[in-house]
Amino acid sequence: MPRDGAPRALNSLGFAKPVSETRVLVAMSGGVDSSVVAAMLAEEGYDVVGITLQLYDHGAALAKKGACCAGRDIHDARRVAESVGFPHYVLDYENVFRDAVIEEFADSYLAGATPVPCIRCNERVKFRDLLATAKDLDADCMATGHYIQRKLGPNGAELHCAADPARDQSYFLFSTTPDQLDYLRFPLGHLPNKDATRALAAKYGLPVADKPDSQDICFVPEGNYASVIEKLRPGAAEPGEIVHADGRVLGTHKGVIHYTIGQRRGLGIGGLDEPLYVVRLDVDARQVVVGPKEMLSTRIVPAREINWLGDAPLTSRPEWEVSVKVRSTRPPRAAILRPLSETEAEVELLTPEEGVSPGQACVLYETGGSRVLGGGWIWRGANRG
């Protein structure tokens, strides 16, 4: 506290002490976003420590472009740290990543679900294990390059969508807990677009200023899920029947893992009167079940493992009027949330959606606002109609 007894003003990260005495661990993927965060905070005078996680085989990663946390990205993160002038460390999280993310991804996919491993990586690796490391290093907070906003409300830190809807990553961060939110900072969430981020990278003279964004899941080359599953679970691509929802056998397939809910192309069952879509995957029977498009329409979505970020307890009301996303690429839609317990709920979509799949996230938003209220995982399939 200053000598005159007046309370010290908060710095830009919300701490009542000089920036030079505020340590920030920055999670650096090697891309432009997290590099800008590190450079920005270092320029402001914060005590920045950069950490990059090696998440999978370093040798194989060197040959793969367009993914985060690969060997090339580790090199790029180190170059940024050297050019700006702050310490940088690489932590080997290969075993943690395999156990917490890759193994579940394989099991979920084999069970007919459509998993979102990036959410589990944030939840179980970056915001759990890496955050614990940040605290071990006496960091006051951990900053990331995610496009999402943390705002202070009357009851503490709140999670809000990014200012740029095209870059918003709230779908992938719904499982951030209140305690984690207290500790995390997202310095890019308020920027109007990605061009603004690249302009900052150029301003700081970062060697990654023009680096392309990562596109694929980091351990899935070219988006080919099936090839990864076959390597992780040899023998998983067993052939079976393609069956119409009315029971007719229409053909054969080379393995359930090659199909996803809502798929139309590549079924190999042409010459029919109506277009058919994958409506269900029966892993036990090794069947791909197809039907008309209207069978994809879903109104009731069961969700579990709910992380609730609202001010009042989830079970304090029988119903909540919310907006929900059931896919990352879709806008929020009006829905009614009916809690079944503190971690399970039923979500009724006021307008049915197509292609709702087990393994995807159901993310909850404040109706008419930017606040993220949490979310859960879709399971048991969903009720059509």
Residues classed as catalytic: 121, 218
**96 assigned ligand-binding residue:** no
Residue 29, annotated as binding a ligand? yes
Direct distance between the N- and C-terminal alpha carbons of the chain, in angstroms, rounded to an integer:
62
**Residue 83 Cα distances to 26, 27, 140, 144, angstroms:** 16, 17, 24, 19
Report whether 27 belongs to an annotated binding site.
yes
Measured at the alpha carbon of residue 312, what is the angle toward residues 343 and 372, in degrees to the nearest 5?
Answer: 70
Compute the distance between CA of residue 148 and CA of residue 144 in angstroms, rounded to an integer.
10
Tell me if 28 is assigned to a ligand binding site: yes
Question: Which residues, including other chains, have CB under 8 Å from residue 196's CB and lie 6 or more apart?
Answer: none
**Which tokens belong to 275?**
């277009």
Report whether 305 contacts 377 (CB < 8 A): yes
**What is residue 64's three-state secondary structure?**
coil
For 86, residues 6+ apart whose C-beta sits below 8 A from its C-beta are: 38, 42, 48, 49, 50
Identify residue 83 by its one-letter amino acid code: S
- 9 a known binding residue? no
Residues in CB range of 278: below 8 A, 6 or more apart: 259, 260, 261, 262, 263, 264, 267, 288, 289, 290
Structure tokens at 80: 């940024």
Residue 280, beta-bridge partner list: 289
Token readout for 167 is: 């870059």
Indicate the annotated binding residues for ATP: 27-34, 53, 145
Indicate the annotated binding residues: 27-34, 53, 145
